[in-house]
Structure 1
Amino acid sequence: MADPKQEQRDAFRADDPAGGPLTTDQGVTVDHTDDSLTAGERGPTLMEDFHFREKLTRFDHERIPERVVHARGAGAYGYFQPYESCAEFTRAAFLQDPSERTPVFVRFSTVQGPRGSADTVRDVRGFATKFYTSEGNYDLVGNNFPVFFIQDGIKFPDFVHAVKMEPHNEIPTGASAHDTLWDFVSLQPETLHTIMWLMSDRAIPRSYRMMQGFGVHTFRFVNAQGRGTFVKFHWKPKLGVHSLVWDEAQEAQGRDPDFNRRDLWDTIEAGIYPEWELGVQLVPEEDEHSFDFDLLDATKIIPEELVPLRPIGRMVLNRNPDNFFAETEQVAFHTANVVPGIDFTNDPLLQARNFSYLDTQLLRLGGPNFAQIPVNRPVAPVRTNQRDGFHQSKIHRGTNYSPNSLGGGCPALADPDTPAFRHLTERVDGHKIRKRSPSFDDHYTQPAMFWHSMSDWEKQHIVDAFRFELGKVNAMQVRERTVEQLSRVDHGLASAVAEGIGVAPPPRQETPRPAPSPALSFENNKGDGSITTRMVAVLVSDGVDAGQAEAVRGALTAQGAIVEMIAPRDGEVAGAGGAALAVDRALPTVASVLYDAVLLPSGGLGSGDPLADDAALRFVENAYRHGKAIGALGASVPALAGLLPETVTVASNGGDPVADRGVVTCAEPTAPGEGFARAFAEAIGAHRHWDRPSLRR
């Protein structure tokens, strides 16, 4: 099936051939670009050197303003395909035919930091999808949290000013552990629900491919009969929802600040395409007021136990951009880019975004013609009466007003039977007033629901996150005020946080105790146990059982894992039988935080103790502390056993594998059988094993 976006892309490339000699912007061929034109070999540069002037001028002006928020991002192309016709509740053409694939471009991003910040900071992640539909571009501009910090867009400048770097010293970069944010949070309890998400491991995703996405707002579907249905959008990754832990996130910033960006790029280049399922929560218009919260409140979710998700299609990302600036940096999303069958609600935050996004693109991209940039260009025909402006690339003919007779009435308005966009007809009236509805007033029940939905290890990570963030706040009154707000969510949470940041625990008070929502916990979003794209490090050195290492690599690779041989040096290592084993990466250049599991084959890092090397010891220790799968074979088993707590069981003899809380061992010194590979893959597929005892040291 032809991809209209690819056809458009190929046509654009045809106008920009890569071959041929270097030219100026005017097409004049250039044969020398290393030296300026001067008066003599050591004389002054001459202003008549038009090539020098053009080259330098273009360089001086090639940067554009970065996004105020979501500046740091990565993107990819792909397609969306519905499972079945959704005509029952929407007339949107791209949601009708299960055989039709709609091209998409997706941009993932962090929020707070500038373009040069790291990927693995604790932050909200943007998840914006541009659908190039036959009826025009539709932008689903969301985040990896289903809720936002504020309820009304008039607070958006205040929130962003508070969360960004402090104005006097522009510190911290890409982080939220500072006074101004927490001052704002402690004075605005509506932020608490999103703050709970921010302090959870949801804020440090393992990869973009293992991250949920949400439309945040309540939108409307409108069907062909003009009937509206409230809708919430959810992207669910095929690989499950997984995260880093804070210790890993911090080290990854130093080891590889492009950790998430590189992961997305490398897996697509390798032909391992990320996939998400699009689900919707549908609420009939007559049930708008059936909940104990307001559907128009962007700080609230609809628990899936009240309105289950309905899967309606899948998205696959299968192509990396050709040029980061031209595509990922210049892509322009806008919440008001909708198509027939999708409409807005009166959510006050959504209304503000509908204004702000367009206003932002006009500045960033130099004027109103940014939709002509290839990554923003619709595949649907564009016929408007808009002309001129900066960077107009079209040569228009004829009239530019409507109605007209001189241009034959073109472009003509759609007739009543044409599927044009029509807003849902509804009655709206009321007094002009600056006052929020009382239905927006409950700021504590849903944060409490989130807290009580977490497993014990998730709760501990949230407490640790609050302690870290508030521990960097200098103003003690801000710490105290934040803890007081947390006490209205849960007294145990507030007391645990207070103990770690040096403030008095608040007095016990009545707090909400809503029913938990199991869908909010990582424990219920692990995916199907697949190890596809999981990174496995095999620690090797001279004397390793090369055949054994290769056998395990083959078994794991066959299941989709990416297995790398890690040695103290690059090049090759000599196996126990003399066979050479190619090294993928040198141990000093990597760390366990970059991998999902580690294997010690027999011989490991030498014929003696495979953990005698300090770097290898840290590698395995950190993998254990971070709950990752660890495997050991043959002579490496006793060495690993000496590191682990006595309560962790390891194999002592025979060829059968022993698996205990993600530690998989086999004492058989020869090539492992299918049983070991199967048990090790199962441990990797569980992602984390938080029920382990602490290490001996």
Structure 2
Amino acid sequence: MHVTVQETGPLTTEAGAPVADNQNSEQAGIGGPVLVQDQSLLEKLAHFNRERIPERIVHARGAGAYGTFTVTADVTKYTRAEFLSEVGKQTEVFLRFSTVAGNLGSADAVRDPRGFALKFYTEDGNYDLVGNNTPVFFIKDAIKFPDFIHTQKRDPYSGSQEADNVWDFWGLSPESTHQVTWLFGDRGIPATYRHMNGYGSHTYQWNNEAGEAFWVKYHFKTDQGIKNLTAEEAAKLAGEDPDSHQRDLRTAIERGEFPTWTVQVQIMPAAEAADYRFNPFDLTKVWPHEDYPPIEIGKLELNRNPENIFAEVEQSIFSPAHFVPGIGPSPDKMLQGRLFAYGDAHRYRVGINADHLPVNRPHATEARTNSRDGFLYDGRHGRAKNYEPNSFGGPAQTGRPLWQPIPLAGRTGAHEAPSHTEDNDFVQAGNLYRLMSEDEKTRLIDNLAGFIAQVSRDDIAERAIENFRQADEDYGKRLEAAVQALRG
């Protein structure tokens, strides 16, 4: 079959040589075996075998879009971050939404936290804010993270997610009670990515030109309004359209219906952390708004779709270790673990030069490092020296840290976080339950009971229920009755 060459030029091999026939492989005579000398065939097959990079262990299933962040309030008394330096200033962003536990081919409409990973392409380098659609998380120390995720993934024997594993871990980890209440409530299955909030979840440091430090939490409040799916609606949608959330985001932007979020922060002077009524760096807890009211600082808009999902969504990388001057980490033990784990995951999954890819490299400045070579290195540094200090005009250190130092004292060791007067794993879960309407409570109980009833051992089910009873007596009593009714 003859194919007319288009104006874009002929089809070529990866090395740029024209391809004469892309319909038929070379053979030793008509009907004979295929020849090894057909390098176009071998190149295509070899590349096809390698089209998929290892999927993310968590947050594998995702969608993303580009947009802008616009400053709407003066925050210079809190941070010297240049992209936050004046009202009206805009910064390009890329936001990746995701589910957490499912594989790359799983459905969007499932009960699962949603990742909310945001990359700011600032003039001082990329700033990554890696959060979720919930303000809290299941655990407070990164050393438990692999164990937790193992309970959410496939069992090594059955090959399926097992209720026994999930509830055994949650029951033995009472700090998870708050997040589990979020997850099995109405917000556990967002209707779309556009109709949910995002949160930085962790506590971060802001510091100003005077060297003063503040602890902050980020909130991204959807301007589209909160919309959720019931368990029944989600099961139907997941079966009919597994790509529902990804499709909704893409088509909304194609229609010009650009989703927006109002960006807020809670700000705590650093000196108040030590005597706050509970550990302010505990990822399983929120800061009550009456203590630290959210302050609006900006507007986030998504207005451009990726041109290639693999290149820009699958290969996008985010790390909470990507800070800029004026912003830094806190003693949050989950955050501290993630400062290493995220970058390490990207180096394994995408490669040592992942930061060079268009979606990941700085857009408003240039990366100037002495790192060289490795897979997919593009030679961008040319003949420049690869060490520092040097006397050949190479980049040099600034001498000014990005964030303020944190005072330390005591002995090294495997310590629990410092105890505060009102530290408790159940109080905030109970508060959340009591905020719910009667209908919301009923749906929460039904969702939890349906899952706990699948547990095979009575002791695991009883322990799980007891955690909710500790949060609120009515909560536990109603859940126990619902589980007993389902288990007969």
Give runs of aligned pairs for residues 500-649 of structure 1, distance below 5 A.
500-502=482-484
Q: Which residue number corresponds to residue 357 of structure 1?
A: 342
Taking structure 2 as the reference length, the TM-score comes to 0.95
Q: Which residue number corresponds to residue 492 of structure 1?
A: 474
Deviations 1:175-222 (A, max 9, x none): xx7110110001110111111111111110011111111111111110
Distance in 2 (CA, whole Å) between partners of 1:428 and 1:323 is 47
Match of 2:425 among 429, 443, 466: 443
- Taking only aligned residues, the RMSD between alpha carbons, in angstroms, comes to 1.7
The question of 1:430 aligning with 2:414 is answered: no
Match of 2:270 among 273, 285, 288: 285
Q: Which residue number corresponds to residue 303 of structure 2?
A: 318
Distance in 2 (CA, whole Å) between partners of 1:338 and 1:88 is 19
Secondary structure of the structure 2 residue equivalent to 1:140:
strand
Secondary structure of the structure 1 residue equivalent to 2:194:
helix
Distance in 2 (CA, whole Å) between partners of 1:403 and 1:254 is 59
Q: Which residue number corresponds to residue 172 of structure 2?
A: 187
Q: Is the 8 A contact 1:448 1:490 kept in 2?
A: yes
Distance in 2 (CA, whole Å) between partners of 1:354 and 1:284 is 23
Q: Which residue number corresponds to residue 4 of structure 1?
A: none
The question of 1:401 aligning with 2:387 is answered: yes
Identity %: 43
Deviations 1:219-249 (A, max 9, x none): 1110011110110000000012221111101
Equivalent AA in structure 1 for residue 414 of structure 2: R
Distance in 2 (CA, whole Å) between partners of 1:207 and 1:24 is 41
Equivalent AA in structure 2 for residue 347 of structure 1: D
**Could you tell me how far 1:302 is from its partner in structure 2?**
0.4
Distance in 2 (CA, whole Å) between partners of 1:18 and 1:262 is 32
**Could you tell me how far 1:412 is from its partner in structure 2?**
2.5
Distance in 1 (CA, whole Å) between partners of 2:7 and 2:166 is 48
Deviations 1:346-375 (A, max 9, x none): 111110000100110011012x21100000
Secondary structure of the structure 2 residue equivalent to 1:438:
coil
**Could you tell me how far 1:441 is from its partner in structure 2?**
4.9
Q: Which residue number corresponds to residue 218 of structure 1?
A: 203
Match of 1:208 among 193, 200, 222: 193
Distance in 1 (CA, whole Å) between partners of 2:241 and 2:318 is 28
Q: Is the 8 A contact 1:37 1:45 kept in 2?
A: yes
Q: Is the 8 A contact 1:339 1:421 kept in 2?
A: no
**Could you tell me how far 1:109 is from its partner in structure 2?**
0.4
Match of 2:147 among 137, 155, 158: 158
**Could you tell me how far 1:382 is from its partner in structure 2?**
1.4
Taking structure 1 as the reference length, the TM-score comes to 0.67
Deviations 1:72-101 (A, max 9, x none): 000000000000332110001111122321
Match of 1:339 among 324, 330, 333: 324
Match of 1:263 among 239, 248, 251: 248
**Could you tell me how far 1:105 is from its partner in structure 2?**
0.4
Distance in 1 (CA, whole Å) between partners of 2:486 and 2:11 is 69
Distance in 2 (CA, whole Å) between partners of 1:252 and 1:291 is 44
Q: Is the 8 A contact 1:36 1:49 kept in 2?
A: yes
**Could you tell me how far 1:262 is from its partner in structure 2?**
1.0
Distance in 2 (CA, whole Å) between partners of 1:254 and 1:347 is 39
Deviations 1:568-624 (A, max 9, x none): xxxxxxxxxxxxxxxxxxxxxxxxxxxxxxxxxxxxxxxxxxxxxxxxxxxxxxxxx
Q: Is the 8 A contact 2:73 2:296 kept in 1?
A: no
Distance in 1 (CA, whole Å) between partners of 2:95 and 2:403 is 26
Match of 1:412 among 377, 381, 396: 396
**Number of matched pairs:** 478
Match of 1:483 among 451, 465, 478: 465
Q: Which residue number corresponds to residue 45 of structure 2?
A: 56
Equivalent AA in structure 1 for residue 218 of structure 2: F
Q: Which residue number corresponds to residue 667 of structure 1?
A: none
Distance change (3 Å), C-alpha of 1:224 and 1:18: farther
Q: Is the 8 A contact 1:120 1:204 kept in 2?
A: yes
Secondary structure of the structure 1 residue equivalent to 2:28:
coil
Distance in 2 (CA, whole Å) between partners of 1:129 and 1:421 is 23
The question of 1:74 aligning with 2:63 is answered: yes
Match of 2:361 among 377, 385, 401: 377
Deviations 1:428-478 (A, max 9, x none): 121112221333951111111111111111111110111111122222221
Structure 1 spans left out of the alignment, 5+ residues? 1-16, 506-697
**Could you tell me how far 1:394 is from its partner in structure 2?**
2.7
Match of 2:84 among 73, 77, 95: 95
Deviations 1:384-415 (A, max 9, x none): 1111111111342131111122x24x11233x
Q: Which residue number corresponds to residue 273 of structure 1?
A: 258
Secondary structure of the structure 1 residue equivalent to 2:246:
helix
Equivalent AA in structure 1 for residue 463 of structure 2: R
Secondary structure of the structure 2 residue equivalent to 1:247:
helix
Q: Is the 8 A contact 1:498 1:504 kept in 2?
A: no
The question of 1:123 aligning with 2:103 is answered: no
Match of 2:221 among 236, 244, 247: 236
Q: Is the 8 A contact 1:479 1:503 kept in 2?
A: no
Q: Is the 8 A contact 1:480 1:503 kept in 2?
A: no
Match of 2:133 among 144, 150, 157: 144
* Rg comparison, structure with higher value: 1
Equivalent AA in structure 1 for residue 71 of structure 2: P
- The structure whose RCO (Cα within 8 Å, separation 6+) is larger is 2
Structure 2 spans left out of the alignment, 5+ residues? 1-5
Distance in 1 (CA, whole Å) between partners of 2:405 and 2:461 is 48
Q: Which residue number corresponds to residue 169 of structure 1?
A: 158
Secondary structure of the structure 1 residue equivalent to 2:24:
coil
